[in-house]
Amino acid sequence: MNPGSAAFQAASCKSCQEPVENRRSRGWYHRGYLPHFDAAGIYQSITFRMADSLPKAVVERLIQQEDDVQRRIMLEAQLDAGHGSCALREPAHAQIVMEALQHFDGERYRLITWVVMPNHVHVLIQTVPDYPLAKVVHSWKRHTAARINGLRGSSGAFWQREYWDRFIRDEQHFASCIHYIDHNPVKAGLVTAPAAWPWGRAGFSTLKMPVEKLRTKDHP
């Protein structure tokens, strides 16, 4: 079944019907200039980027931007511009990130879709109890940074410390998020169709957890 279909959304977004404040939750908090929200059983869109992916002047403008929507638009446009070393263009590096995202799928989170771009990563997951979002993202970064730095013969920060997350509020938001992530390589001018980009769900031949299993599995 197409993960963007109405049937999939209706089955998958049942947790969105429960008030967020009723779930086991850390709620809103900050780890720098970006707000974060964490709760079990919700869908979260996450963006994390390489340490050199944004020029200092751009980061300063992002910090000064008070409107959350405009900050996200600015961030996405600048990331798609391809600043920095873009080390994730290297297939071996992108493969490491894809494997890390899939490794704990079904255990620490449920992986819906993802794409590894040249200097950043977009992921859509459903969170589960006992695995806070911050720890999940930290685990991805720690593991992939160590392996990629080993291949490059380098050291130091590979990923930027902060990340962007946004919880999915309803079925329309869920569908638009999947569309954005799958089509990001097209939007950035890297390919002409999502399936032509091998470093994302759209171009990946077999999901570790098939959509049918995601659709029928009980929510935490």
Angstrom distance (rounded) from CA 173 to CA 179: 10
Q: Tell me what pLDDT residue 36 has.
A: 55
Please name the amino acid found at residue 190.
L
CATH code of domain 6-216: 3.30.70.1290
Instruction: Please count the other Cβ atoms lying within 10 Å of the Cβ belonging to residue 146.
Output: 12
Q: Taking a C-beta distance cutoff of 8 angstroms, is the pair 83, 52 a contact?
A: yes
For the beta carbon of residue 186, count every other beta carbon within 10 angstroms: 15
| pTM strictly above 0.85 | no
Residue 153 has a pLDDT of 93
Which pLDDT belongs to residue 4? 43
pLDDT computed for residue 113 by the predictor: 96
Q: b/e map of 36-56 (b: 16 or more CB within 10 Å)?
A: bbbbbbbbbbbbbbbeebbee
Q: What is the mean pLDDT of each run of 10 residues along the chain (220 residues)?
A: 40 43 46 60 93 82 75 80 91 96 96 96 95 94 97 92 88 94 94 94 60 34
CA-wise closest residue to 132 among 32, 34, 37, 218: 37
SS3 labels along the chain: CCCCCHHHHHHHHHHHHCCHHHCCEEEEEECCCCEEEEECCCEEEEEEEECCCCCHHHHHHHHHCCCHHHHHHHHHHHHHCCCCCCHHHCHHHHHHHHHHHHHCECCCEEEEEEEECCCEEEEEEEECCCCCHHHHHHHHHHHHHHHHHHHHCCCCCCECCCCEEEECCCHHHHHHHHHHHHHHHHHCCCCCCHHHCCCEHHHCCCCCCCHHHHHHCCCC
